[in-house]
Amino acid sequence: MARVVVCGASGRMGQTIGRMVNESKGLELVGGINLKPGSFFGVEIVGAKDAEALLKRTKAEVLIDFTVAAAAVENVKMAARNNVAIVVGTTGFTPAQREEMERAIEGHVPAVISSNFSVGVNIFWQLVRESAKLLRDYDIEVIEAHHRNKKDAPSGTAKTILQIIEEEAGARKKQYGREGMTERQNEIGVHVIRGGDIVGDHKVMFSKNFETIELSHRAYDRSVFASGALRAARWVAGKKPGIYGMSDVLGLRK
């Protein structure tokens, strides 16, 4: 049974993950990390200054992080120093932050890093990849929607969609929204919606004269992301050091 510490333990995702770890088989919730100390589901939440001591005291085996980019980088470095496997669902990293995490992880600990832990989204990405390969001469639009408090835009999931499309259909200019007199060129339109409590909607449109193909995924509850993170936590414990994705966890064809 892998011992798990959850970062951002008092946040919405942290609470969801903590509850599901606490109720799961094969994982044991042993602590949380947050800005302010407290408790959840019968275990201690410590502040950042006591986080490393918590990992040592609980003999944590997996650290799950769904926080913000700057905090996640430090949490990953801390976990790597203590030989704790890592699951990271945080998004919005700069290239420099990503490199900093990679340096900490490589050769030291196993880590699963993904912009989306939903099993459905990972299947959706596969469908986008196959479609982009076959429909490279179509006009392509990407639309995503999230709750009003989400800070990074476009979402990490949308950025992964754009990366997949470019890998299969070639590099294109990104047009972030449109206004005024604009004539469509060979760009990818990217449209971001923020409002209410939308958990996460993503759509890709491939359009040509007389037809449009749409691929979409809609999350109705954060538990779909937490469920995938738990699956990754069970999988990553004991793996060889290195950076893995959810495609590795799910055994999907790359």
Q: Kindly name the residue from 36, 49, 108, 146 that is annotated as catalytic.
A: 146
- Active site includes 254? no
Q: How many CA atoms lie within 13 A of 248 on its CB side?
A: 18
Measured between alpha carbons, how far is 242 from 237 in angstroms, rounded to an integer? 12
Q: Kindly name the residue from 77, 147, 150, 191 that is annotated as catalytic.
A: 150
**Sign of the CA dihedral 114, 217, 223, 36?**
positive
Please compute Rg for the chain using Cα positions.
Answer: 19
Query: 217: Cβ–Cβ under 8 A, 6 or more apart, which residues?
Result: 118, 120, 121, 124, 200, 201, 202, 203
**Sign of the CA dihedral 68, 14, 1, 229?**
negative
- Active site includes 147? no
Catalytic machinery residues: 146, 150
